[in-house]
Amino acid sequence: MYASRIEETICKAIQFGFIDEIAKDAMLRNKFWTGLASQSLKNSTRHLYDSIKDFQYLLREIRKVQQEEAHTSTRQPKSKSAAVHAERAEVTESQEDMKKELRVLISKMERFYRVLPALYQRLCQSRSTAE
């Protein structure tokens, strides 16, 4: 779900001209991996991020590792307080990452809205000269 939201956002950014189509895969990989909520998942998949350049393939491989970690953690129960503490830390880290991403997106949207009138005016001029 997280990967889908990132992909949708970047596709919109491409559509509005903020990002080149060429940079799409690299940006998807970067935003997805840096935005992972679990630090342990990041640590265990860093080698995948460094070696796999295709976003879809990276996504599949990280999901495999995530499932393996989930399977392992269900077999080795943590103490309740340690699990709660770890969960809170992951949520807080995830919230901070999402806030950062949101600030970046808001900044890009503000730039877009500043440029939009000029783009619209150029479009209207090009249409009138074509007639």
Share above pLDDT 70 across residues of the chain, in percent, rounded to a whole number = 87
Lowest model confidence (mean pLDDT) among 57-66, 80-89, 100-109 = 80-89
**DSSP per residue, 85-125:** HHHHHHHHHHHHHHHHHHHHHHHHHHHHHHHHHHHHHHHHH
- The pLDDT tens digits for 5-21 are 888 888 888 888 888 88
Separation CA 115–CA 31 (nearest Å): 25
Look at residues 41, 53, 43, 47 and name the one whose alpha carbon lies nearest to residue 2: 41
The yes-or-no verdict on residue 68 having pLDDT over 60 is yes
Reading the block at residue 53, the tokens are 């350049």
Tokens 């950062």 -> residue: 100
pLDDT at res. 61: 92
Separation CA 115–CA 110 (nearest Å): 9
DSSP conformation class of 95: H
Task: For residue 31, count other CB atoms closer than 10 A to its CB.
Answer: 20
Q: What is the mean pLDDT of the chain?
A: 83
Separation CA 42–CA 55 (nearest Å): 15
Amino acid present at 92: T
Task: Please give the model's pTM, rounded to 2 decimal places.
Answer: 0.50
Torsion sign over Cα 14, 20, 21, 24: negative
- The pLDDT tens digits for 43-67 are 889 999 899 998 889 999 999 998 8
